[in-house]
Amino acid sequence: IGRTGQITPNAVLEPVRVAGSLVQRATLHNEDNCIRKDIRIGDDVIVRKAGDVIPEVVSSIKERRTGNEIPFKMITVCPKCGSPLVRKPNEAAYYCMNEECDSKKIEKLIHFASREAMNIDGLGDKIIEQFYNLGFVTCIEDIYHVDIHEKEIMDIEGFGKKSMDKLLEAIENSKANSLEKLLFGLGIKGIGAKMADTLAYHFGSMDALLNANYVQLTSIKDVGDTIASSLAAFKRNERNLEMIAHLKELGLNMDYLKVRDTGDNPFRDKTVVITGTLTLMTRKQIKDYLTSQGANVTGSVSKKTDLVIVGENPGSKYTKAVDLGISIMNESAFKGASGL
C-alpha cells in the first residue's frame, strides 16, 4: 500500500540473487499485468531488476507447473483498513480511498523522512512505524514535536540517549533543507524529485507556488495538466494548508536555496542521460551538477535526448544513443566541458 493508497501486488519469492543482491520480493505491477502474463501462486518465475533497481517478475515458467498453482485474483478490500478498493478510470491500479488508512499515513511519513526528501537520518521505515503505532508521530508535523516524547522513546529497547540526540539533531537540520526537498517530501501526486526541483526553482518559494494559477504552472516546461491538477487538489484541502502554515511556524525553510547557473554553458536547457560506470563523481553528484547548470537529467534515451554522458560499460542506453545519432560525451570530455 503506497502513500497515495495505490495497491501493488507483490510476489513473495524463495530468495534468489539478482544483479548482485538477494531478492525475496518482486513487484507484479497491477492486476492486468498478472492476468496478461498468467502469473500464479506456486509458479517458478523469471525475475529481473527493472532499470537495474526494482525487482520485477518477467514471466512464469509454465512448463514447470504441477497443476497445483493458484490463478491470481485481485483483492477487493484494503488489507490494512478493510475499505473497498477502487480502480480509477483509465488506470490499471486499484486504490484504497480511505484517508484515515494507517498504512497510507505510515507510507507518507516514511516518504517525507526519506533520503531523497527531507533526509532525516535515524527515522527509518521501522522506527516510523513504531512511533506511529505508539502514537508519537501520526502526521508530518508530529516529527517536529517528537522531543516531547523523548523520555518514552528512550525507554524503547535499543533507543538510548545517543540515538535520541542524533535523531533530534537530524530533525532540526532538516528544517534548513531547500524548498524542493520539502515539496517532494509532501508526496503530492505526480511531483517526483525532479519535478519538485523544477517547480521550486521556477517559483522560488512555497507561497509563490501555492498562489500560482493553472496558466502559470502549465507555461513551465514539463508541467502539464496532471501536475497542475494535483497541485490544485492539494490546495483545496484545508488540512494541507494548515500543515504548511504549521511547518512554517516550526521554522522549516520555504524557499529555494540552490544556486543555479543561468549563464551560457554546454548543458543549459539540454536533456541529458548518464550511463555506465563513472569515476569522476558518483552518478548522483553528476546529476546534481548538471541540474545546477540548467540541464534536464532523465533516465532513458529517446529522440528528445540531447546528450548522453557515458562511463565504462555503458550498455543499451549507449547503443540506443548511437542508433538515434545523439551526441555522446565520455567522462574525459565531460570533465573538460564542466571544468570539474
Inter-residue long-range contacts of 129-138, CB under 8 Å, 24+ positions, other chains counted: 130/156, 132/102, 132/105, 132/106, 137/109, 138/105
Q: Give the pLDDT of the chain (340 residues) as one tens digit per residue.
A: 988 899 999 999 999 998 888 999 998 999 999 999 999 999 999 999 887 778 999 999 999 999 999 999 999 999 999 999 999 888 899 999 998 999 999 999 999 999 999 999 999 999 999 999 999 999 999 999 999 999 999 988 888 899 999 999 999 999 999 999 999 999 998 999 989 999 998 899 999 999 999 999 998 878 999 999 999 999 999 999 999 999 999 999 999 998 765 566 788 888 999 998 888 888 888 888 888 788 888 888 998 899 999 998 888 899 999 999 999 999 889 988 887 7
Q: Which of 87, 107, 108 has the alpha carbon at shortest distance from 97? A: 87
Bridge partner list, 71:
40
pLDDT of residue 160: 86
Distance CA 51, CA 54 (A): 7
Angle between helices 125-133 and 102-113 (to 10 degrees): 140
pLDDT of residue 285: 85
Distance CA 46, CA 39 (A): 11
Distance CA 301, CA 183 (A): 27
pLDDT in tens, 256-275: 998 765 566 788 888 999 99
pLDDT of residue 335: 86
pLDDT in tens, 106-133: 999 999 999 999 999 999 999 999 999 9
Q: Which domains does the chain have, with CATH numbers?
A: 6-96 (2.40.50.140), 102-174 (1.10.150.20), 184-249 (1.10.150.20), 271-338 (3.40.50.10190)
Q: Which helix (DSSP H) or strand (DSSP E) does residue 335 occupy?
A: helix 331-338
Q: Coil, strand or helix: which one is 58?
A: strand
pLDDT in tens, 168-179: 999 999 999 999
pLDDT of residue 312: 87
What are the cell numbers at 296?
Answer: 534536464
- pTM higher than 0.85, yes or no? no
What are the cell numbers at 224?
Answer: 502539464
Bridge partner list, 189:
none
